[in-house]
A and B are shown apart, each in its own frame.
Chain A
Amino acid sequence: EAGVAQSPRYKIIEKRQSVAFWCNPISGHATLYWYQQILGQGPKLLIQFQNNGVVDDSQLPKDRFSAERLKGVDSTLKIQPAKLEDSAVYLCASSPWSPAAEQFFGPGTRLTVL
């Protein structure tokens, strides 16, 4: 079974530029998550989708971050404009729709903002 796919793996941009990350979850997983992992910290949930609807985006900085999952499958996370403090690893995870279900994580995208 294929795992969660993310691209790109690495991205370097200058502050005020825009960037987008892509995630393809495990086939059949209804729930998709984007986490931000700043160096030296644990992952923090940015947004959770159930199919193509948003379940939780309480910690998403909505003035600069946006995310979509239009067909309930793959998802895109965008930052516009980027700030230095956005440098982090962005992790995508997916799971079946159940509070008891295990989340499966992708390898992450490492973003460096200069």
Chain B
Amino acid sequence: GNSVTQMEGPVTLSEEAFLTINCTYTATGYPSLFWYVQYPGEGLQLLLKATKADDKGSNKGFEATYRKETTSFHLEKGSVQVSDSAVYFCALKIQGAQKLVFGQGTRLTINP
């Protein structure tokens, strides 16, 4: 079946630290990959996406590269800010379908 496994949280970092949140997937077919973010009290928002192998998605200083050989889509940011504190979800969508399959989420807290 199709599934997404994320790095266990919570993750706590200091401001300006380097961030990595690991995400690996299992999929039948050729998925598109996504990172969603959920800020406190708000709905899920698309952060970035990649639709084919070796694509790099980027937004707001965050990046993730679609690695087919390792079935991974790790989220990175070079210097985090307090405002990045949120829950981050990795997700996949199988080609031709619209349904999103989510990982369990990783709660990130950035301390000043």
Chain A positions near chain B (C-beta within 8 angstroms): 3-4, 31, 33, 40-45, 48, 55-56, 91, 93, 95, 98-103, 105-108
Contact = CB atoms under 8 A, between A and B. Distances in A.
A107 B43 contact: yes
A15 B44 CA distance: 28
A45 B43 contact: no
A13 B96 CA distance: 39
Nearest to A9: B41
A108 B43 contact: yes
Interface stretch (B12-20, B62-70, B97-105): B97-105
Q: B interface, by DSSP: helix, strand, loop or mixed?
A: loop
A48 B97 CA distance: 11
Interface of B: 4, 32, 41-46, 51, 89, 91, 93, 95-105
Given A43-B100, A44-B102, A56-B99, A99 B45 contact: no
Given A42-B4, A42-B89, A48 B105 contact: no
18 contacts: A40-B104, A40-B105, A42-B4, A42-B89, A42-B91, A42-B102, A43-B100, A45-B101, A48-B98, A55-B98, A91-B43, A99-B97, A99-B98, A100-B51, A106-B43, A107-B42, A107-B43, A108-B43
